[in-house]
Structure 1
Amino acid sequence: MSSRPPERAAPNSSTVHGGGRELRADARRNRERVLRTAQQLFATDGLGVSLDEIARRAGVGPGTVHRHFPTKEALYLAVTIDQLEQLVAEATALAATDDPAALFTQLSRMVAMGAENAAVKSALTAAEFDLRTAAPDVAADLTGQVAELLDRAHTAGAVRRDVTVDDVMALVAGAFAAIRHANAETSQQRSAHLAQIILDGLRPR
């Protein structure tokens, strides 16, 4: 994949890519079908899968895919943003609870999703593109929610006082490297175990 960040896909799935006109119901369903199919294939194959194969597996024509997503990079980014917005929503829900250890729950979810999904891992590690450049709003939302959970953990004494949100995000990226080094990417139990060891380093001494 080119090092140049791809253009951000429109976050609203009900509008035409690059425009504000509402999609017809059938076009909206096709777009969602392509996104879900691409999500599954990118999770396992990364960018190696072709747009034609995504179209075939989604049960739509190649032209349908290209109308919504002019390049593979645009589709990849749209899938990634969709997944990361799920993480933001989960973090928002955790922030509404009184659990001082909610930070660890959120970070475990982030690592688990990244370990299973190549697109999410690439975004969180800036391997394929820098999310802060390609989708700054999503990056800011996710980091902001993690920072809020970190502040609560600090107040409750559930995390080391010297830990910053940048440290936390770096540890998430580091967890993916550890999982890959241990050849644990296909083992949910093994990858979760490694992530837990890494995240335990955030706890007070």
Structure 2
Amino acid sequence: MSSRSPEPPAAPGNDRGLRADARRNRDRVLQTAQRLFATEGLGVSLDEIACRAGVGPGTVHRHFPTKEALYLAVAIDQIRRLVAEGEALAGGDDPAALFTLLSRMMASGAENAVVKSALAAAEFDLRSAAPDVAADLTRQVAGLLDRARSAGVVRPDLTAGEVMALVAGAFAAIRHAEAETGGEGSAHLAQIILDGLRPRPGGP
């Protein structure tokens, strides 16, 4: 019989206070769940996710007692990854780094569309469930937008709120393009959307 104590549970999207091994297991579960939800749909069971992640079913159920808790944690984890990417881009000197982050945001949103749809159906609001994380992402976008505006590589009249709204609306458009073209048109559509943020000759 093992003398190791069981992993303590964590709130959805929160891994603070976890042991290092528990945090690694949780991260592995989240990455596996995100991949399976995107490729196989929401019908995949928690036990199957545990098996594919290489952990015991009890590990998944302790961290995520319901499917809804796992959906929420997957979505929050993706936002945190985008925040980290934004921080890395902010540390560089590319004036057009905003477009790199927005491209990743649109790709992430398309990848996690089924999870976000499930959360919407369950009346979960990510901005309410994880306000600090959502605000962090908006701040990263705003900072990169300021740099892009100063360099003249983005429309001068564009606000961070408008950028976030455009990206949110782009998720549905990209998912539709993927359904129609098998994914071939999604990258082109994302580029068209981003091009609309660039300065126009003789105008804002």
What TM-score comes out, normalization by structure 2 length? 0.79
For residues 67-106 of structure 1, the aligned pairs below 5 Å read 67-106=62-101
Contact 1:35 1:79 in 2 (8 A): yes
Name 2:111's counterpart in structure 1. Answer: 116
Change (3 A) 1:111 1:62: same
- What amino acid is aligned across from residue 64 of structure 2 in structure 1? F
Displacement of 1:186 in angstroms is 4.4
Displacement of 1:38 in angstroms is 1.1
CA separation in 1, counterparts of 2:56 and 2:105?
Answer: 33
Displacement of 1:198 in angstroms is 0.9
Displacement of 1:28 in angstroms is 4.2
Name 1:11's counterpart in structure 2. Answer: 14
Name 1:200's counterpart in structure 2. Answer: 195
Name 2:166's counterpart in structure 1. Answer: 171
Contact 1:153 1:159 in 2 (8 A): yes
Displacement of 1:103 in angstroms is 0.7
Instruction: Give percent identity, aligned residues only.
Output: 73
SS in 2 for 1:48: coil
Q: For structure 1, which segment, 172-181 or 97-106, has the greater mean C-alpha deviation from structure 2 after superposition? A: 172-181
Displacement of 1:49 in angstroms is 2.2
Q: For structure 1, which segment, 142-151 or 170-179, has the greater mean C-alpha deviation from structure 2 after superposition? A: 170-179
Q: Which structure has the bigger radius of gyration?
A: 2
Displacement of 1:35 in angstroms is 2.1
- What amino acid is aligned across from residue 73 of structure 1 in structure 2? E
Change (3 A) 1:14 1:111: same
Change (3 A) 1:99 1:180: same
CA separation in 2, counterparts of 1:8 and 1:119?
Answer: 22
| 2:127 aligned to which of 124, 132, 135 | 132
Q: For structure 1, which segment, 194-203 or 109-118, has the greater mean C-alpha deviation from structure 2 after superposition? A: 109-118
Gaps of 5+ in 1: 1-6, 16-22
Change (3 A) 1:102 1:10: closer
Name 1:55's counterpart in structure 2. Answer: 50
Gaps of 5+ in 2: 1-9
**C-alpha root-mean-square deviation of aligned residues, in Å?**
2.6
Q: Deviation per CA, 1:38-95, whole angstroms, max 9, x where unpaired?
A: 1211222443322222223234443332112111111122222222211111111111
- What amino acid is aligned across from residue 36 of structure 2 in structure 1? L
Contact 2:13 2:74 in 1 (8 A): no
Aligned length, in residue pairs:
187
Name 1:39's counterpart in structure 2. Answer: 34
Contact 1:8 1:134 in 2 (8 A): no
CA separation in 1, counterparts of 2:94 and 2:55?
Answer: 45
- What amino acid is aligned across from residue 96 of structure 1 in structure 2? G
